Structure 1
Amino acid sequence: MPISAKIRMMLDIAMTVATLVLMGGNYFFESTAVHEILGVILLVLWAVHITLNRRFFLSLFKGRYNVFRILQAVVNCGILLCAFFLMVSGIMLSNHVFAWLGIESGASFARTAHLLASHWYYVFMSLHIGLHVSLIANRLGLAGAFKSKAALVATRVVAVLVAGYGIYAFAIRGLWKYLFLQQPFFFFDAERGYALFFADYIAIVVLFAVAVHYVAKLMKA
């Protein structure tokens, strides 16, 4: 794998891990400062990611659009929009990193915007991963393994099973409530623990990634 591809892969992994940790709100750490610092790090990583993939955004208004390209544009622009609102609301709510700005108004709007944007960002990120499954497999050197019919079938079965659990996790975690503002605050289910939190949220990523991967295949057919 070329060095540039390795850097991109490490960047994508770091962004995904940071997102999963940040989805736990302030419940993983004693100080909210850690959540804020991780948020800033994710923002910086996004700036690097956009710079590395600037050709996509520069070509948004060029060429013809088919159904797949429209889907790709909606997902990528959705991520960008959510990242913007996360940045603005995060700065407004900051009690540590950006406290020096002295922002005292708009807290109610910022909390709602942060909750809404974070969960839509999570969904768009999952869809983004699904649109790049083949690329990820190539970068990890797994494309050759999928030439075996048995390996391909086994991978698909595992993906479907994890996605099936992701449906359950999506429901039990009540993510739809955050996506459509049916719940105005984030609830962390301490009884399910931290390990199950990550298992659930990873399964939800797989759910959306698998769904959009096969939708994209149909679009390209």
Structure 2
Amino acid sequence: MKSKQIAKISIDFAMTILLLFLMARQLTGDSAHEWLGTGMFILWILHHILNVRWHGHLLKGKYTPLRAVHTAVNLLLFLSMAGNVISAVILSREVFAFFPISGGIALARPMHILCAFWGFVLMSLHLGLHWGMILGVFRKASGPISSRRVRTGLRLGGAAAAIYGLYAFIKNQFLSYMFLTSAFVFFDFERPLLLFFTEYIAVMGLFVFLAYYGTKVLQKLTGKRRKATGYEK
């Protein structure tokens, strides 16, 4: 594997871990939350530097349905991350406290909640859209799985995790934060830390599952359409 590819995967993995801790602000505390968020911002910049070619090709080539989905998710994720950074700077009491910003907190607080939860979902979808590539890396390292039973078991395990993720999505009131029907994030301090991370990883798994298999369905539909119109022989 090329060093650039290793760097990309390492940064994406680190961002995923940081994202989970950032969602646990009540557990980490405000100071740690700000520093973790700063780390996420730095990794986000590095991610875009390493993927600069993607930006250069935005207006080039033909847009298939799958490419349109990829682009839409990436652009929305960019907006949510930008909104997170802007609102975080306004709300900051430590890392960015030196900025001469007065006011704006009433708007920044709901904006931060909105962008955080949409960002979590969009980053999970982004991960799912690239899940095939991630699986390919593991296949190269460990070899393909030849047993049909094992493959079926893994798919069923993924489906079960996605179902649990849907339960956790509802239980943790994601929709109320994504559409700002709740002004504050409710946090159950009696819930064990392990359960918190298990539920949020499951929610992430739900959207990875939806994006990964949604991609497969879209590829099949696009392939059938091309054959029907005579583009493929």
With the shorter chain as reference, the TM-score category is over 0.9
| Aligned partner of residue 33 in structure 1, secondary structure | helix
Query: Whose Rg is larger?
Result: 2
Q: How many residues align?
A: 219
Task: Give the secondary structure class of the aligned counterpart of 2:21.
Answer: helix
Q: Which among 61, 76, 79 is matched to residue 78 of structure 1?
A: 76
Q: Which of 37, 43, 46 is equivalent to 2:44?
A: 46
1:24 matched residue in structure 2: 24
- Once residues 85 and 126 of structure 1 are traced to their aligned partners in structure 2, the CA distance between those partners, rounded to angstroms, is 17
Q: Which runs of 5+ in 1 are unaligned?
A: none
For structure 1, which segment, 1-10 or 85-94, has the greater mean C-alpha deviation from structure 2 after superposition? Answer: 1-10
Match of 2:124 in 1: 126
* Alignment match, 1:104: 102
Letter in 2 for 1:165: Y
Q: How far off its partner does 1:148 sit?
A: 3.3
Percent identity over paired residues = 35
Which residue number in structure 1 is paired with residue 229 of structure 2? none
Q: Which residue of structure 2 lines up, in the alignment, with residue 7 of structure 1?
A: 7
The CA distance in 2 between the partners of 1:132 and 1:149, in whole Å, is: 23
Matched residues in 2 for 1:62 and 1:199: separation? 41
Q: Is the 8 A contact 2:20 2:197 kept in 1?
A: yes
Amino acid at match of 1:179: M
Kept in 2, the 8 Å contact 1:9–1:139? The answer is: no
Cα offset for 1:149? 1.9
Partner of 1:144: 143
Partner in structure 2 of residue 187 of structure 1: 186
Which residue is equivalent to 1:199? Answer: 198
Tell me how far apart the structure 2 counterparts of residues 3 and 65 of structure 1 sit (CA, whole Å). Answer: 29
Conserved 8 A contact 2:162-2:209: yes
Report the Cα offset of residue 147 of structure 1: 4.2
In structure 1, what is the equivalent of residue 55 of structure 2?
Answer: 57
Q: Distance in 2 between matches of 1:29 and 1:209?
A: 26
The alignment status of 1:161 with 2:137, answered yes or no, reads: no
| Residue 146 (structure 1) shift | 3.5
Maintained 8 Å contact 2:80/2:115? yes
Scaled by the length of structure 2, the TM-score of the pair is: 0.90
TM-score, with length taken from structure 1: 0.95
RMSD: 1.4
Alignment match, 2:218 = 219
